[in-house]
Structure 1
Amino acid sequence: MIPAMPATATSSRQASVVALRFGRLAAMGAVAVLILIAGVWSSWGTAQHVMLSKGRERGTMTVTACSGDTCSGPYRPTSQGSKPRANVVIKQSVAVKKGRTYTVTVKPGSNDVVRTGPAGLLYAWVPLGGALLLASVVVAGGLRMTRAAWALGGAGLALLTVTFLAL
């Protein structure tokens, strides 16, 4: 007859499995939250100028020249207290083309402008869309929460698709 294994070894094994499972959930949850915070943080740098434009200089910019990763052109004000400028700078992207006119907001204390309106707002939140897609992979694989992962991925894909169509 083989003596039975003591009860303490079985409960010890179960405790370690629970501890490892909790550690995995905590680590993957922290990674997913960190990815989402990074997406919001990188989007907010531009989005704040678009969303909170009350009291800021607003106007239009006609792109006359592009070089490197920036485009420039004259600025015509549309808000009170805003002054015309001979040259303002906007980041060049797929959304900015030479010869076109865009509604913009001037970043305080500079000659840099950001695009406003629905297209500018959506474009400002593109980093968050990418973060949502990346976090969905972490949530699905690391946390094994497939419904939440599909929701995050769907939201990210929707944001990127609508932005692409708006631009």
Structure 2
Amino acid sequence: MSKKRKFSVLPWARIVAMTLVTLVLVVAGVWASWGTAQHVLLSKGREHGVLTVTGCGAEICTGRFDPDGPAGVRTDLTIDRSVAVVKGESYPVVVKPGTRETVRAGWAGGLHAWLPLGGALLLAAPVLAGGLRLTRAAWISALSGAALLVGTFLIV
């Protein structure tokens, strides 16, 4: 006599669902980060300079932009307001092409740009550990996300 094996769809459905949730979290973090990170990481050929913040509103700060090179000083550029932007301080920035918006350059700007990815990695860790039973991957995700968040806090 042969024994028939039962096939259950439930474990596979759980794996597929948790994999999709994890992918959505990480892809959303990369997508949210890339809008700013591309200007910091791929800054060759873009306008660089120093922005001295002269005033801040609810969401944006304005300031005096002193570009690298022969171009003249401009006063119509903005930067997103955050806890890292203080009135009266000067920051190295990159101008987004075709706009009056700037993003911070260097390590501080790069880490600040990837901040949403750090949060997404932290959110993905419990899904990896609990839903997919991948504890090592969950620890790597959580520690990477935490390192990015703490690094941004310390450098910015």
The two structures share one fold, judged by TM-score above 0.5: yes
SS state at 1:128 partner:
helix
2:22 pairs, out of 5, 15, 32, with: 32
1:84 to partner: Cα distance: 2.9
For the structure 1 residues 28 and 129, does the alpha-carbon distance in structure 2 shift closer, same or farther, using more than 3 Å as the test? same
* Moved beyond 3 Å, runs of 4+: none
> Match for residue 132 of structure 1?
121
TM-score by length of 2: 0.95
> Match for residue 51 of structure 2?
61
> Match for residue 41 of structure 2?
51
For the pair shown, the structure with the greater C-alpha radius of gyration is 1
Q: Paired residues, what number?
A: 155
SS state at 1:63 partner:
strand
Q: Can you list the C-alpha shifts for 1:30-84, whole angstroms capped at 9, x where unaligned?
A: 110111000000000000000101000000100000011110011111146x553
What are the ranges of 5 or more consecutive residues in structure 2 without an aligned counterpart? Answer: none
1:116 pairs, out of 105, 113, 122, with: 105
Q: 1:63·1:98 contact (CA, 8 Å) conserved in 2?
A: yes
**2:144 maps to 1:155:** yes
**2:133 maps to 1:144:** yes
SS state at 1:76 partner:
strand
What are the ranges of 5 or more consecutive residues in structure 1 without an aligned counterpart? Answer: 1-5
SS state at 1:56 partner:
coil
Provide the rounded CA distance (Å) in 2 between the counterparts of 1:75 and 1:95. Answer: 18
TM-score by length of 1: 0.88
Q: Can you list the C-alpha shifts for 1:127-165, whole angstroms capped at 9, x where unaligned?
A: 000000001111111111111101100100011111110
**2:76 maps to 1:87:** yes
> Match for residue 67 of structure 2?
77
For 2:62, the aligned partner's letter is: S
Q: 1:57·1:79 contact (CA, 8 Å) conserved in 2?
A: no
**2:7 maps to 1:15:** yes
Question: What's the % identity of the aligned pairs?
Answer: 52
Output the aligned Cα RMSD: 1.4
